[in-house]
Amino acid sequence: MGKDDVVQSGAGGGEFAAKDYTDPPPAPLVDAAELGSWSLYRAVIAEFIATLLFLYVTVATVIGYKHQTDASASGAGADAACGGVGVLGIAWAFGGMIFVLVYCTAGISGGHINPAVTFGLFLARKVSLVRALLYMVAQCLGAIKALGSFRSNA
């Protein structure tokens, strides 16, 4: 910060006039040129896979916990109830998966993993309409695929 950034105000006190960062310009509402770039499709695939993995692992943790508690409640013996992950383990599964997946996809797609996050960033004009729609479709399809895999195993 240089001398030019300080503005004198009031009783000799200094006040910063400039931010030390700049906001990026708002994304265009409709950017049809994005449809021709490979980076958009790579980001859409990353969102699909991240949402699929997030729901698959977390729902598997919840189902496993439910099976363990059902086995211990039915009195199937000491072998059936091994303690399991518990409620804290479920919370760690959710938090850990979000941490890992956002870290892995932040450089590719921004690490949204949730249609509500994507919609909020669209409203804030951080992503274009084309990108937001493709992200939300990919996220919903990833969720359907992850939960459909449990349905096919049942």
Half-sphere exposure (CA, 13 Å, Cβ side) for 47? Answer: 26
Kindly report, residue by residue over 75-114, the tens digit of the pLDDT.
Answer: 655 555 556 788 899 999 999 999 999 999 999 999 999 9
Radius of gyration of the chain (CA): 23
| Residue 96 Ramachandran class (φ > 0 left, ψ -120 to 50 alpha, else beta) | alpha
Class of residue 104 by CB neighbours under 10 A (exposed 0-12, middle 13-18, buried 19+): middle
Rounded Cα gap, residues 82 and 72, in angstroms? 9
pLDDT for res 72:
66
Q: Write down the mean pLDDT value for the chain.
A: 85
Kindly report, residue by residue over 21-55, the tens digit of the pLDDT.
Answer: 888 888 888 888 888 999 999 999 999 999 999 99
129 and 30 Cβ atoms separated by less than 8 Å: yes
CATH of domain 27-153: 1.20.1080.10
